[in-house]
């Protein structure tokens, strides 16, 4: 396999303070792999053997509830570290990661985490910043599920996905990865029937357009108004 160029990583936060030689050292220890849409990268509770960097594509992070339900707690965009169990002082993965679209990721054996943190300036700082942001996103999702009406939760989830991956189209802003109504139900702790009812109503009102795996927000301002807590 052709060696990856250091320029792939130079603009990414964990590597932004490193010179090309240091980035080359990190790349030379990595393994690159492509994942088809729907492929599982690792599973919640399994031994954490590697940590990862997403080069291209999008991932869903899924947690199991005490009742056995699956909840999509966040999405991961290109350029982000993930599966960094050692940063949490864990030996197992705290969640399941699934490719939301065809994706490419680099990975390293978990025993290299501490040497990287020690040797490369900024790697630890940005790694832990990423972790803090993720925990914040998960807390926001869980709080919304506990306190907000279903309509608000669904609108908030659509806006988060648009902010993270939105692509301008003639019709509006498209979510940049495949997303189904069932995915949205798993992100919002509601039923598939309720999500379908809401999206159908919003489609009639000109707020969204949706097909089997594609959602376009055609009126973001109205969606923002729906997502806001009622006072």
- Residues above pLDDT 90, as percent of the chain: 50
Residue 85 has pLDDT above 80, yes or no: yes
> Can you read off the two tokens belonging to residue 45?
């509770």
Residue 1 has pLDDT above 50, yes or no: no
Characterize 78-107 residue by residue with b for buried, 16 or more Cβ atoms within 10 angstroms of its Cβ, and e for exposed: bbbbbbbbbbeeeeebbbbbbbbbbbbbbb
The C-alpha atoms of residue 25 and residue 75 are separated, in whole angstroms, by 29
Highest mean pLDDT among 14-28, 30-44, 67-81: 30-44
Query: pLDDT tens digit string along 63-81?
Result: 887 777 788 888 898 888 8
Q: CA angle at residue 142 from 138 to 145, to 5 degrees?
A: 140
The C-alpha atoms of residue 175 and residue 183 are separated, in whole angstroms, by 13
Query: pLDDT tens digit string along 127-181?
Result: 777 777 777 777 777 777 777 889 999 999 999 889 888 889 988 999 988 999 9
Contact partners, residue 101, CB within 8 Å, separation at least 6: 37, 57, 58, 176, 177, 178
All structural domains of the chain = 7-141 (2.60.120.10), 148-227 (1.10.10.10)
Supply the pTM of this predicted model: 0.78
Q: How far is CA 183 from the centre of its chain?
A: 13
3-class state of residue 74 by DSSP? strand
**Longest alpha-carbon distance in the chain:** 57
Helix then strand count (H, E) for the chain reads: 8, 12
Strand order in the sheet with 31-35: 31-35, 103-109, 50-56, 81-82
Q: Which of 109, 3, 128, 134 is nearest to 51 (CA)?
A: 109
What value does the mean pLDDT take over residues 104-123?
A: 91
**Terminal CA-CA length for the chain:** 57
Is-contact 177 57, C-beta < 8 A? yes
């Amino acid at each position: 396999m052709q060696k990856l160029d250091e320029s792939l990583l130079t603009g990414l936060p964990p590597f932004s303070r490193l010179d090309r030689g240091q980035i080359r050292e990190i790349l030379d220890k990595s393994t690159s792999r492509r994942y088809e849409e729907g492929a599982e990268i690792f599973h919640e509770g399994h031994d954490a053997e590697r940590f990862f960097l997403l080069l291209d594509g999008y991932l869903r992070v899924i947690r199991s509830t005490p009742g056995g339900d699956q909840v999509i707690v966040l999405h991961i965009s290109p350029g982000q570290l993930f599966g960094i169990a050692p940063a949490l002082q864990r030996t197992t993965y705290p969640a399941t990661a699934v490719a939301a679209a065809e994706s490419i990721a680099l990975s390293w054996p978990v025993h290299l985490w501490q040497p990287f943190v020690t040797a490369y300036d900024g790697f630890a700082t940005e790694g832990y910043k990423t972790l803090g942001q993720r925990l914040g996103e998960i807390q926001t999702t869980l709080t919304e599920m506990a306190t907000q009406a279903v309509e608000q939760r669904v609108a908030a989830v659509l806006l988060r996905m648009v902010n993270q991956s939105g692509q301008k189209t003639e019709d509006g802003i498209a979510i940049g990865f495949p997303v189904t109504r069932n995915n949205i139900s798993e992100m919002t702790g509601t039923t598939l029937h309720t999500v379908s009812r809401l999206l159908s109503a919003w489609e009639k009102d000109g707020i969204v357009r949706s097909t089997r795996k594609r959602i376009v927000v055609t009126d973001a301002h109205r969606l923002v108004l729906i997502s806001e807590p009622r006072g």
